[in-house]
Amino acid sequence: MVFTPDTDVTLRHAAALANTGPALGEERREELPDLAALLAWMDRWEWTGRRPTSEAEVDAVRRLRPRLREIWALDEDGKVEAANALLEQGRALPRLVRHGDVGWHVHATRDDAPLAQRISVEVGMALVDVIRADETERLKVCAGEDCEDLLVDLSKNRSRKFCDGTCGTRANVAAYRARKSRDTATG
């Protein structure tokens, strides 16, 4: 394991959240179209605490996505600044908690704070871990053609290049075909 389990989840959640919206220059992608979609999203990621009740809150969560893309693209100094800003703006106040079958971990906002604020502060806290461990290079953008999805490389040798989508499979198929046609050409 590279980070603690809560940091792992927070980073993967942040990447997945950014990927529910359109990338720069992409026409449209909206996987969080309404409140129902956001509530389903919360269940999928096992969010506890207060649940959003208004479209305004959905909008606030959607607005985090370009910010996350920005953060992923920043260099280390930029990420440091972003982490500090997220923690300050979200008025982070870390405390240890445990709930359900999740062991001791940190919450740094009140459980009844708006979801967008809780997400920002969680990302800020996770960035602290990433930066302290000198692992900022693990926050990557998919190397797939025409794919700008964010990903978190949690592999042992930091070798992951492609998102969870079809890009990895497609790259494998392309490599296989290239190898095969080379073999045919020489053989």
- The site for Zn ion (CB under 5 A) is made up of 142, 144, 147, 149, 163, 165, 167
Q: How far is the CB of 170 from Zn ion (least distance, A)?
A: 8
Q: Which of 16, 11, 44, 47 is nearest to 163 (CA)?
A: 16
Q: How far is the CB of 112 from Zn ion (least distance, A)?
A: 14
* Alpha helices, H only, the chain: 5-18, 35-44, 55-73, 76-89, 115-132, 167-186
- Rounded to the nearest angstrom, the gap between the alpha carbon of residue 186 and the centroid of all alpha carbons in its chain is 44
Question: b/e per residue, 41-54, with b = 16+ CB within 10 A?
Answer: bbeeeebeeeebee
Q: Write the single-letter amino acid at 128.
A: V
Q: How far is the CB of 24 from Zn ion (least distance, A)?
A: 15
User: Nearest-5° angle of CA 83, CA 18, CA 32?
Assistant: 130
| Closer residue to Zn ion, CB minimum distance, 83 or 167 | 167
| Closer residue to Zn ion, CB minimum distance, 123 or 147 | 147
* Dist CA 76 CA 83 (whole Å): 10
| Closer residue to Zn ion, CB minimum distance, 32 or 142 | 142
Q: How far is the CB of 82 from Zn ion (least distance, A)?
A: 22
Residue 120: CB atoms within 10 Å: 25
| Closer residue to Zn ion, CB minimum distance, 113 or 147 | 147
Q: How far is the CB of 103 from Zn ion (least distance, A)?
A: 10
| Closer residue to Zn ion, CB minimum distance, 76 or 173 | 173
Strand partners, 99: 102
Tokens of 19: 């990927």
